[in-house]
Amino acid sequence: MTTQSTHRAIVRQGSHSTVEERRTPTPGPGELLIAPESVSLCGTDIQIVRGDRDDPSPIVGHEGAARVMEVGTGVSGFAVGDRVVVNPTHPHDSSFLLGHNVEGLFQQRVVIGASAVGGGLVSLLPTDLSSARATLVEPYAVVRYALSCLARETPETLLIFGDGLIGNLAATLARSVLFPTVDVAMVHRTELGTKWTANHLPYVKNFAVDDEWERHLTGSVAVLVATHRAGTVASIDAALRRLGDRVVAVHPIGGVPAKATSDLLPGVDIAGVRQANTGGPTPPAVTTFTRGSQRVALTGNRGVTNGQLTAAATALTFAEDSIDGLLTHRRGIDEGTALMNTICEQRTRIVDDELVIRLVVDLNSHD
């Protein structure tokens, strides 16, 4: 039985979101009713709410832990009270993309459909992983997969475009996933972003977009693009144009516009390359091209496997406390909705002179 007949949900209407009471559904055969604990607002969520994407779900959110509240008939392996994480990307069913075309986690109760449950997209979480840190499970797994793709080309320098959570998380994990000696550089959009990374990750070389950063990078370079989707192709172009044949690998981890192409990569469907790695296959699908005398590997990914998610959860359980510094703003549902509206309506991650690396909204959290 469900514990309540209604629940609170953050529902978007245009670029503005409000907290509404919604009727709590009962899970059907093969489904699970879950209660999200804490959920973080990622860059894709922001793009959807702003209207930069046409994803139809009125409720976004796909990064967070939840507890099982009710188990539909025919479902095995789960019990009421289990802590779970939901893989938001179904590699074989495009009708399930959590928070995009099905209702997401920014609500106190949500039904996970039979396709996702039966497809193994719901995995158990460690009981001692905090609710807030659990919001990092999906981005942690995605970033680690992206870095593993770049590691195949043994770069001497990692160049990151984008200074949001994904970019800073990549900088945090770079020396453990790539090589202990790899140089890490980041191209920032804002002065506050530069200051934040410099204060929290002192080994990173920080640059503004217009700096002559190409003069300060050593050896072969792998490029990780973690910008919003409108900046993806421009970032790839900037790296290829300014670094020439020093680039050995390129991996867009953020959004990519449909049919995106670059004049510097004639005939290459950048979005298609990323799409080929839906679900985080190993080894990844790779498209190669030549720049001068250099062979360049182009990958990209959209989502990861369940195994990669659970491995990320385990790693986060034992990670140093410094990882929590990425979660800069933690709010309740009402305060979180207000901050979400400021970010989305004013199109800024700088609020009250502070950079919002990641907003975490507590929905049913007890820690």
- DSSP per-residue codes, 133-176: HHTTHHHHHHHHHHHHHHHTT--SEEEEE--SHHHHHHHHHHHH
Using CA of residue 100, residue 231, residue 292, residue 261, what is the dihedral sign?
positive
188 Ramachandran zone, left/alpha/beta (phi>0; psi -120 to 50): beta
Query: Residue 228: what pLDDT?
Result: 87
The pLDDT value given to residue 91: 86
**Is 106 or 365 the better-scoring residue by pLDDT?**
106
| Rounded percentage of the chain residues whose pLDDT exceeds 70 | 98
> For residues 290 and 61, what is the distance between their CA atoms, to the nearest angstrom?
39
Calculate ∠ Cα 41-49-259, nearest 5°. Answer: 100
Written as six digits, the tokens of 109 are: 């109760």
Q: Assess contact for 184 and 204: CB atoms under 8 A.
A: yes
Measuring CA to CA, which residue among 244, 255, 49, 248 is closest to residue 161? Answer: 255
Give the model confidence (pLDDT) of 87-144 as tens digits. Answer: 999 988 888 999 999 999 999 999 999 999 999 999 999 999 999 999 999 999 999 9
Q: Binning pLDDT at 50, 70 and 90, where does residue 2 land? A: very low
Name the 3-class secondary structure at 295.
strand
Dihedral pair phi/psi, residue 233, rounded to 5°: -65, -40
Q: Select from 337, 246, 359 the least CA-distant residue to 292.
A: 246
For 34, the 3-state DSSP assignment is: strand
Q: pLDDT for 46-63, tens place per residue?
A: 999 999 999 999 999 999
Q: Could you list the beta-strand ranges (E) of the chain.
A: 6-13, 16-23, 32-41, 63-71, 83-86, 110-112, 122-124, 157-161, 183-188, 205-208, 221-225, 247-252, 287-291, 294-298, 329-331, 350-351, 354-355, 359-362
Strands 6-13 and 157-161: unpaired
Q: Where are the alpha helices (DSSP H) in 187-269?
A: 191-200, 232-243
Q: Are strands 110-112 and 122-124 parallel, antiparallel or unpaired?
A: unpaired
Dihedral over Cα of 9, 48, 284, 231: its sign: negative
pTM of the model: 0.94
Label residue 179 exposed, middle or buried (CB < 10 Å: 0-12, 13-18, 19+): middle
Contacts of 296 (CB under 8 A, 6+ apart): 247, 248, 249, 250, 288, 289, 290
The H or E element spanning position 275 is helix 270-275
Q: Give the pLDDT band of residue 32 (cuts 50, 70, 90).
A: very high
Q: Give the pLDDT band (50/70/90) at residue 312.
A: very high
